[in-house]
Amino acid sequence: MTIGTADAQYLLPGELALQPEVIRRVLTEVDPLVPAVAAAVVEGGIRDIVMTGCGDSLFSAMAASFAFLRFSRRLTIPAHALEYSRAIYRSSGPETLVCALSYSGETRRTVEAAIAAKSVGAKLLGISRDRTGTIAGQADHFLPNASLEERSNCRTGSFQAAYLALVLLGAHTAHRSGDLDDAGLESVREGIRALADAVQRYIEPAGELGRRAAEHIGKAGTVHFIGGGEAHAVALYGAAKLYETSSLPAVPQETEQFAHCEIFSLERDSVVVVVALRGPFYQRAVEVADAVRTIGATVIGVSDEPAFERHADLLLEVPSGAFADFSTSLAVIPLQWLAFHDAVARGSDPDLVRHKAVNSPLIRACPIWSAEDYAREEREQVRASRDSARVEHGHDA
């Protein structure tokens, strides 16, 4: 990829260009490790799979959960680490696999989620870049995040690496359980190889698409990102990149929920980025995009369906091919570029985030519950249940 002189002063364009190599590293470094985890899932009687993390890690889990449905028809729940660590963990046990995702391996709330999982006897899969970090040390199984070193705050490669590692886990689990044959598993690998090549070809044209989209965003009164299914995760990710580069308060939402709520707030100067990937959520994206344009607001489409151009003021077209099952990996790229170009146009440094002096300790040095705290919670839950039963049967009258 050719990086312009103006772009070369920033870290982000160079990191974007590394994504094809990251995707290939997933196949060479992660794929050989996944069958052992899949075997533990199938032969260990795992019934529930929960994927947990914060920020980009959560978005990658949300997108990958649909791969499990696609390959193995196994329901997989993505949950924010705070929700899992303070409430959802109570539904886990020896038949649960909790996948804890953290780029650093030290995200405090995700560490807490790992502690919560272990406190109820759940199996833990850690996915991080640090093979010796806290999460890796607690895990029953570990998969590396195959990203290369990233010094900007956008973490573009680590999102791709985490997403595809989980996709492979879904495929290998289906293969181990007999829902995906040898040819099907190899087709997944071939699709990821084709994806790496497609990303390499797409990086530069996606940069121009992102620049054109940034021109619309720069004039917007409000900015919204919407999508359904895997596209919802892409929408959340796209809005997050604007937070990180431009400090722009974009509003992400699931497509249907947007039609029920946020659509009321639109003005003619609003811009709605509609992520419309082929599949069962596509037609609803078309309907909502047309409604947004009826209001007079601007629609920027992100789609692997060229016909979506009829429903958008600007289409950020995503390539399609043998890698169609992994469209998430391609759809995020023009949104990464959009964030970069918007930040530069506003005079912001796209490699830095605001309020990091507050943000960093809030997520990396915050107090967390320990194993003792969870043991105490369990005792209190049991006591509360007994007290409730006594009242119900009149023993305290």
CATH label, 5-180, candidates 3.40.50.10490, 1.10.3720.10, 3.40.1390.10, 3.40.50.300: 3.40.50.10490
* Domain boundaries along the sequence of the chain: 5-180, 203-346, 367-392
Buried b (16+ CB within 10 A) or exposed e, 78-116: bbbbeebbbebbeebeeebbbbbbbbbbbbbbbbbbbbb
pLDDT beyond 50 at 367 = yes
Amino acid 54: pLDDT? 97
Distance CA 92, CA 69 (A): 20
Query: Phi, psi (5° rounding) for residue 261?
Result: -130, -75
Residue 389 banded pLDDT, cuts 50, 70, 90: low
- Say yes or no to pLDDT of 395 above 70: no
Q: Please state whether beta strands 48-53 and 96-101 pair in parallel, antiparallel, or not at all (unpaired).
A: parallel
Count CB atoms within 10 A of the CB of residue 152.
21
Q: What is the pLDDT of residues 157-215, one digit of tens each?
A: 999 999 999 999 999 999 999 999 999 999 999 999 999 999 999 999 999 999 999 99
pLDDT digits (tens, 9 = 90+) for 66-76: 998 889 888 89
pLDDT at residue 303 greater than cutoff 50: yes
Whether 95 has a pLDDT exceeding 90, the answer reads yes
- Name the pLDDT band for 1 (thresholds 50, 70, 90): very low
Which candidate, 56, 303, 64, places its Cα nearest to that of 170?
64
Torsion of CA 141, 51, 76, 149, to 10 degrees: -80
Question: Rounded CA gap, 170 and 103, in Å?
Answer: 20
Query: How many whole angstroms separate alpha carbon 377 and alpha carbon 370?
Result: 11
pLDDT-based confidence at residue 29 (cuts at 50, 70, 90): very high
Please determine, for residue 133, whether its predicted confidence score (pLDDT) is greater than 80: yes
Q: Is the pLDDT of residue 2 over 90?
A: no
- The confidence score (pLDDT) of residue 394 equals 66
Rounded to the nearest 10°, the torsion over CA 115, 120, 124, 126 is: -20
Mean of pLDDT over the chain: 94
Q: Is the dihedral of CA 63, 69, 70, 71 positive or negative?
A: positive
**pLDDT value of position 359:** 93
Instruction: Average the pLDDT over 51-62 and give the result.
Output: 97
Among 208, 254, 245, CA closest to 354: 245
Q: What percent of the chain has pLDDT over 70?
A: 95
Same fold yes or no, 5-180 and 203-346:
yes
Report the pLDDT averaged over residues 345-361: 94
Choose which CATH entry (1.10.150.650, 3.30.70.360, 3.40.1360.10, 3.40.50.10490) describes domain 203-346.
3.40.50.10490
Read off the pLDDT of each residue in 298-302 and give the average, rounded to a whole number.
Answer: 98
